[in-house]
Amino acid sequence: MSRLSVFNNITLDGYFADQNNDMSWAHRNTDPEWNEFVASNARGEGTLVFGRITYQMMAGWWPTPPAIKAMPEVAEKMNESPKMVFSRTLDKATWNNTRLVKGDLAAEIRKLKKAPGHDMVIMGSGTIVAQLAQEGLIDEYQLAVHPIVLGRGRTLFDGLKDKKSLKLTKTRAFANGTVFACYDAAG
């Protein structure tokens, strides 16, 4: 059975994107330890899961020469990994190894979780996170909490109807002030 995880950068006040859907604040650091952590995390196996907005942002960055120059290991893994984008409005997904899914999000994830194969990880895609959290389909939350306050923006759990209790399984602090926290959804 496959597991579904979330990996996301969030601000100290709980936003994964500002009010304009900008996430660039999460990628402005010069901490070598943090950069190595990000690169090693990208080496994992599994299918990357996106909503349309995050997919278009990622597909517009990782295959480019500046991305490959800035973070070659991460760019290679992002470009080679199998990817799935959930969208009702996209007509095609052109980023290497991407499958476009237009069907029911929760039903498709339930089916994939029951099938043998690699685990899945959602990156960004707050709307998808909230929907799948509500359905109890997320097994683990990996959150990088950055020492920045936006004041306004989008939370990962916008629209969540039921309270979710989580169990902290590991933490790691970095010199740049970012704290990585991993939570098991079983609570």
Report the CATH number that the domain containing residue 139 is assigned in CATH: 3.40.430.10
Predicted pLDDT at 106: 95
Domain range for 58: 4-184
Confidence of residue 74 (pLDDT cuts 50, 70, 90): confident
Is pLDDT of 144 > 90? yes
Positions of E strands within the chain = 4-11, 47-51, 83-86, 98-101, 120-123, 140-146, 167-173, 179-184
* Mean pLDDT calculated for residue range 156-163: 86
For all residues of the chain together, what is the average pLDDT?
90
Q: What is the pTM for the complete model shown? A: 0.90
Predicted pLDDT at 43: 64
* Mean pLDDT calculated for residue range 29-37: 80
Q: Do residues 84 and 48 touch, judged by C-beta distance below 8 A?
A: yes
Is pLDDT of 64 > 80? yes
26: left (phi over 0), alpha (psi -120 to 50) or beta: alpha
Predicted pLDDT at 81: 93
Q: How far is CA 151 from the centre of its chain?
A: 21
User: Per the structure, how many domains does the chain have?
Assistant: 1
Nearest-5° Cα angle at 8, 121 to 100: 45
Predicted pLDDT at 49: 95
Continuous segment of H or E residues that includes residue 111: helix 105-114
Confidence of residue 124 (pLDDT cuts 50, 70, 90): confident
